[in-house]
Structures are given as C-alpha cells and as structure tokens.
Chains A and B, each alone.
Chain A
Amino acid sequence: MSERDELDPATMQRARARLEQGAERLNVYTVQRLAQARAAALNGERTPRTSRSWLLPALGTAVAAALVVSVTLQVMHKPDVAAIDVATLDMELLTSDDDLELYQDLEFYTWLDDEHESG
C-alpha cells in the first residue's frame, strides 16, 4: 500500500473531528428517537418504524408473487381435453349395462355389420 493510500495522522484527526461534530449536533427529536430505540431494544421490542419506504417494495413483491402463483395455478390446472374424453369414455364403459366382452370384440362386430350391409 502506498503512502497516498493512507491519510497522515493530522488529516485523519481532522476528519474524525468533523465527523464527531456531526454526531454531537443531533437535534432533540433524533436524540429522543435514539433513546427510545435503545430502551425498546433492551426490552426486546421494536418501536414502530418511522420510514414507510419499505412499503412499496413489499407491496410490489406481494403483487408479483400473487401474479406468479395465479399464472402457475392456471397453467397447472388447464383442462386436458384428450384426458377428459378418455376419462368420459372409460366412465361410460364402466357404468354401461353392456357386457365388457362386447367391447373387446367390437372391431369384429363392426366388420360383421359392414359385411351384412354390403351383402
């Protein structure tokens, strides 16, 4: 580290004095708020936040999260038409009074029916 990278002791002392002035000249409101914050911290509590700047990011994040969840749910629960058709057909077969063997030989009966009509 070169000499130019460090402050000489006198300059450092002067800078420290300037910064101390700022700390000593706090207004009454700020001093009171600091004392309240200290007392609350020692009791394991927090005084109400004075800044409202955290509200906007919190609100924005909440809105963004709600949008993401909404879109995700819509995509996940999008109805699959083919699956519904198959499910409906399965249900019809199971609840039908027809013999299941009829459906197993359905192709044969269809062919037989065609032959009968053409013959």
Chain B
Amino acid sequence: MRNPDTSANTDTKRRLDAFLAQVERRAYRMALIATRQRDDALDIVQDAMFKLVRSYAHKPEAEWTPLFYRVLQTCILDWSRRRKVRNLWQRVLGGHDDDGEDPFALVPDSVHATPDHRVAQTAAMDALERALAQLPLRQHQAFLLRVWEGMDTAQTAQAMGCSEGSVKTHYSRAVHALRELLEEHA
C-alpha cells in the first residue's frame, strides 16, 4: 500500500515539474535580458527554482506564478547588486567592467520560416531585447511582467516587491522608451 504522504509529495513534485517547465524559458530570457550573460542568467533561474521548491512548494498552485516571479526578480536584483560590487573590485584591480558577451548571438535561427521572414523576425526580436536591456532594471522588469506575463498592476507590484504606483511609473517610462521601436517593427 502506498504511503499517502509519499503519494502527495510525488503529486506535488509532478505538478511543480510541469509548472517550472512551463515558466523556465521565459524566466531564463528575462534573466538574460537583465544580465546579458548566459551563465549568470542560468544561475539566476536555477536559484529561483530552488527557492520556490524549498520555500513555497506547499502553497496553493495558483500562487506559484506570482511567487516564482517574485523570487526571480529578487534574484535578478541580488545579481545586479553583486555586479556593482564586482565592477567596483574590477576597477580597483584594474580589470574590465563587463565580459562583453552578446547573449543574443547565441540564439539559433528558426527552422520553420523562410529566410527573409526569419531575418525580419530575428531583427525585430533582437531590437526589442536590446532596447529592453538598455532600460533601467526596474523598468524592463515592469514591462516584461505586464506585457509578457500579462500581469496586472497589482500582480506586478507583488512580483517586484514594490507599490502599484511604482509599477505604473516604471511601466509608463518603459512604454515611452520602447513605443517608437515597437511601432517601427509593426
């Protein structure tokens, strides 16, 4: 006879696996846009997954999405703070601030589109992601959570750990900065 606790754990694990598989690619892209470093982005997503499973697996499944993005955004902010310290030490030690890796060059082309369409799609995607990467961290976080994840202002505020007013300000500034680019690639 199966142990009920083991069965429940197995069921939770299966649902968590499905949930993480569903969000991991977006999470990675969000982290990549913020860090512009593939390895750093992978570490951030891994930390977010680990913390979600460790601390919030027992929560209702409906809460996993906002909790995961809250953890992810916190990990990205932590990375940003560590990068500032790292850059300071690199300046002290006479090194360079950034590695200069271009993560968007690592993205393979689609195999389903015609060459012209593929080039146009890739150009538009790259342009948007590059423009997002130029925005301040909080602005592009607000933009991605609102536009990509479809979160409303309250959910975005919860995920970012700030007030709804701050979310509106960050999002508004991001939209103003990106509007021309988004309309250009219509």
Distance from A58 Cβ to chain B, minimum over Cβ atoms (Å): 9
A68, B16: Cα distance in complex, Å: 45
Distance from B146 Cβ to chain A, minimum over Cβ atoms (Å): 9
Asked if A21 and B82 sit within 8 Å, CB to CB, the answer is no
Interface size class of A (residues with CB under 8 A): 35 or more
With contact pairs A6-B175, A22-B107, A46-B50 given, residues A54 and B82 touching in the complex (Cβ less than 8 Å): yes
Contacts of B53 in A (CB 8 A): 41-42, 44
* Interface assignment of B45: CB less than 8 Å from any CB of chain A: yes
Asked if A50 and B43 sit within 8 Å, CB to CB, the answer is yes
Question: Which residues of chain B from 101 to 122 have any CB-CB distance to chain A below 8 Å in the complex?
Answer: 106-110, 121
Could you say which of B26, B46, B108, B147 contacts A37, with CB atoms under 8 Å apart? B46
Asked if A30 and B50 sit within 8 Å, CB to CB, the answer is no
Binds B, one of A10-18, A75-83, A91-99, A108-116: A10-18
Residue total for B at the interface (Cβ-Cβ under 8 A): 58
Determine the main DSSP class of B at the interface with A: helix
With contact pairs A14-B185, A18-B125, A57-B86 given, residues A51 and B107 touching in the complex (Cβ less than 8 Å): no
Could you say which of B13, B42, B148 contacts A42, with CB atoms under 8 Å apart? B13
Could you say which of B28, B129, B147 contacts A34, with CB atoms under 8 Å apart? B28
Asked if A50 and B42 sit within 8 Å, CB to CB, the answer is yes
* Interface assignment of A101: CB less than 8 Å from any CB of chain B: no
Contacts of B110 in A (CB 8 A): 21, 24-25
With contact pairs A42-B17, A51-B40, A53-B37 given, residues A22 and B147 touching in the complex (Cβ less than 8 Å): no
Mind listing 18 A-B residue pairs with CB under 8 Å? Answer: A15-B147, A15-B182, A18-B125, A18-B185, A19-B26, A22-B107, A23-B25, A26-B25, A31-B25, A38-B21, A38-B24, A38-B49, A40-B50, A46-B46, A49-B43, A53-B99, A56-B89, A57-B82
* A residues adjacent to B (C-beta < 8 A): 1, 4-7, 11-12, 14-16, 18-27, 30-31, 33-35, 37-38, 40-42, 44-47, 49-54, 56-57, 59-61
